[in-house]
Amino acid sequence: MHDPPSPAQYPLDISKVTTVKPGDLGPYGTSELVPGVFVPDPRQSYRPESPWGTPQQPIDVRDVIHVAPGQLAPSNYVEYLPGWWCPRYHQP
């Protein structure tokens, strides 16, 4: 007689199994179990994310400008996304 197996470390709900055509990408947060079959990745955190804190230096959207490629932004502005600039004093 053998001892019963230990409880599953990562129990799987069959409704969470996703099947796609082999070679296609699976949903975000899943791992490919066998070709075309994806299951939730146990290394992912399934807890809801905590809410963002209050920004230390919020950016006023009225100060954000878009600069066309090849053009120069004002000298007191910094690029925070390609082509998008905001005043330097808003940056940490």
Distance CA 41, CA 29 (A): 6
Q: What is the pLDDT of residue 42?
A: 74
Report pLDDT for 67.
Answer: 93
Contact 38, 17 (CB under 8 A): yes
Residue 53, pLDDT score: 73
pLDDT in tens, 35-71: 989 888 877 765 656 676 776 667 788 889 999 989 9
Which band of pLDDT confidence, cut at 50, 70 and 90, is reported for residue 90? Answer: very low
Please report which confidence band the pLDDT of residue 11 belongs to, taking 50, 70 and 90 as the band edges: low
Selection from 8, 10, 16, 15 nearest residue 39 by Cα: 16
